[in-house]
Amino acid sequence: MSTTTSMPPLPTLTLIVATTPSLGIGLRGTLPWSPLKADLAFFARVTKRAPPGSTIKTKNAVVMGRKTWESLPPKARPLKGRMNVVVSRNAQTLQLPGNEGSQEPVIAAGSIEEGLRILQDTYPAPEPEEEQEKDKLALGRVFVIGGAEIYKAALEMECCARVLWTRLRGEWECDVHFPKGVLDIEGKEGGGEGEWAERSIGEMEKWVGEDGVGGLKKEGEVEFEVMMLEKEGI
Of 138, 6, 150, which is closest to residue 60 (Cα–Cα)?
A: 138
* Total number of domains constituting the chain: 1
> Is residue 162 in a domain?
yes
Residues 6+ apart with CB under 8 A from 183: 19, 23, 163, 165, 167, 229
Judged against a pLDDT cut of 50, whether residue 1 lies above it is answered with no
Q: Measure the CA–CA gap between 79 and 97, rounded to whole angstroms.
A: 12
> Is residue 147 in a domain?
yes
**Least trusted range by pLDDT, from 74-88, 106-120, 180-194:** 180-194
> Is residue 140 in a domain?
yes
Task: For residue 214, give the CATH number of its domain.
Answer: 3.40.430.10
Q: Give the confidence band of 132 by pLDDT, cuts at 50, 70, 90.
A: low
SS3 call for 161? strand
Q: Are the CB atoms for 194 and 47 separated by under 8 Å?
A: no
* Mean pLDDT, residues 182-204 taken together: 81
Domain span at 68:
17-221
Query: Average model confidence (pLDDT) for the chain?
Result: 89
> Is residue 226 in a domain?
no
% of the chain surpassing 70 pLDDT: 88
> Is residue 79 in a domain?
yes
Q: What is the CA radius of gyration of the chain?
A: 18
> Is residue 124 in a domain?
yes
> Is residue 85 in a domain?
yes
pTM score, two decimals? 0.91
Sign of CA dihedral 162, 226, 28, 104: negative
The alpha carbon of residue 12 and the mean position of all alpha carbons in its chain are separated, in whole angstroms, by: 10
How many other C-beta atoms can be found within 10 angstroms of the C-beta atom of residue 228? 22
Judged against a pLDDT cut of 80, whether residue 142 lies above it is answered with yes
> Is residue 145 in a domain?
yes
